[in-house]
Amino acid sequence: VSDPTAIYLDHNATAPLLPEVLDVMARALAQAWANPSSIHGPGRKARSAVETARAQVAGLIGGDADEIVFTSGGTESNHLAIRGLARSGQRPRRPGLLSSPLEHPSVLGALQSLTEEGFAQRWLEVEASGRLAVQDLEARLGSDTGLVSLALVNHELGNLYPIADLARRARAAGALVHCDAVQALGRLPLDVAALGVDALSMSAHKIGGPKGVGAVWVKRGIEPASQLTGGHQEHERRAGTENVPGIVGFGEACKLAGRGLADRIERIARLRDRLEEKLLAIPGSRLHGDAAGRAPGVSNVGFSGAPGQLVTIGLDLEGVAVATGAACSSGTVAPSPVLLALGLAPDEAREAVRFSLGPGNDEQQIDRAAALVEAVVARVRAAA
Ligand SMILES: Cc1ncc(COP(=O)(O)O)c(C=O)c1O
């Protein structure tokens, strides 16, 4: 964010590129330009840069480097994990898929593509807060369920799900478990062994890395069916010459994300609570999501009688960047499917504004943003 007066509160859409990441990427572009599959010296230099990054990504989630498959981002990671696990052929073919209607569109798209191939989709029930009932998972897990896919943190609400518990039950029923951790990476401590999942999706740009690069952690012994075939890269799990500078930037972002994580979480949670208290003091405001079980940086608030899109535009004119629902659905006036799944009426869902904080925010920004929200909401209501 180059304008010093601008206040960026849209970290769930993307995080600003970290200066250290820019540095290592510039160096990689200039110096690690060769094809990492080449056996000559320049190729080996590029390979070494990729492998250093692989260890850095694995290190942030408690995995091993050889369990990391680099991809073009969270969307591809979700497709590789979901389609790849469902079609891996390592288990007796089980056609049942179990997920929640609150998942990111990239998860829903991958699941949809499988149902078109004959897989059968089941959905978990969602409470008004967006909580998922553990008992409901048990009720819906059938002997035909082959794959359960659930996010660790919801992209619109910030809700945090008890994946370790859900995964244990799903695996006991013989299903493989995929977790979309794109909104959790670098924002919460992650340990793949403790989560007990089979595959976990990540994306670099949510943590200050570049766009267009991500990874899937795949538990050793699990072989997802490759979705991009041809070349032998990534141990036959994902064909295509590696995005070396992107991967190097992702590795650096993971290294930095692991430093001081506990302090950062506490600071961001305090700022979010400070913001939320002020927002909820505005008459006619209400919180969406699970106040008792959320990731630290997110607050999704609706202001009755003030369409979220107009509030977002009004705030943008004041230099405050926020979002209405998922970034990929902005530009459309369709209400957020996540909020509709919570049982909100379409007009109520259209009033929601998502505030998502990051390490660059401070108290001064939060107080100024809250005051501007109050003024903009009043203006939008008066004009309506
Ligand atoms: C939960 C979740 N999954 C997946 C993605 C997709 O990641 P990418 O933008 O890297 O494709 C996002 C990004 O918005 C997300 O929030």
Backbone angles phi, psi at 331, to 5 degrees: 95, -20
- pLDDT per residue of the chain (384 residues) written in tens, 0 to 9: 457 779 999 999 999 999 999 999 999 999 999 999 999 999 999 999 999 999 999 999 999 999 999 999 999 999 999 999 999 866 657 899 999 999 999 999 999 999 999 999 999 999 999 999 888 898 999 899 999 999 999 999 999 999 999 999 999 999 999 999 999 999 999 999 999 999 999 999 999 999 999 999 999 999 999 999 999 999 999 999 999 999 999 999 999 999 999 999 999 999 999 999 999 999 999 999 999 999 999 999 999 999 999 999 999 999 999 999 644 455 557 899 999 999 999 999 999 999 999 999 999 999 999 999 999 999 999 998
Widest CA span in the chain: 68
Please give the distance, rounded to the nearest whole angstrom, from the Cα atom of residue 104 to the centre of ligand 1: 7
179 is catalytic: no
Q: Which residues pair with 69 in a beta bridge?
A: 216
Catalytic residue (one of 26, 139, 328, 333): 328
Atom of ligand 1 nearest to the CA of 73: 10
Q: How many CA atoms lie within 13 A of 224 on its CB side?
A: 32
Encoding tokens for residue 275?
């913001």
Whole-structure pTM value = 0.96
Please give the distance, rounded to the nearest whole angstrom, from the Cα atom of residue 155 to the centre of ligand 1: 8
327-346 residue pLDDT tens: 445 555 789 999 999 999 99
Pocket test for ligand 1, best of 57, 106, 356 (most atoms within 8 A of CB): 106
Atom of ligand 1 nearest to the CA of 151: 1
Least Cα distance to 157 among 300, 303, 346 occurs for: 300
187-224 residue pLDDT tens: 999 999 999 999 999 999 999 999 999 999 999 999 99
Please give the distance, rounded to the nearest whole angstrom, from the Cα atom of residue 118 to the centre of ligand 1: 26
SS3 assignment, position 104? coil
Encoding tokens for residue 308?
């979220």
Atom of ligand 1 nearest to the CA of 327: 14
- Around ligand 1, the residues with Cβ closer than 6 Å are 73-75, 78, 104, 106, 151, 155, 180, 182-183, 203, 205, 214
Please give the distance, rounded to the nearest whole angstrom, from the Cα atom of residue 209 to the centre of ligand 1: 13
Please name the residue that has the structure tokens 């890395």.
209
Q: Contact at 8 Å (CB) between 189 and 261?
A: yes
Strands 96-99 and 145-151: parallel
Residue whose CA lies nearest to ligand 1 atom number 8: 74
SS3 assignment, position 306? coil
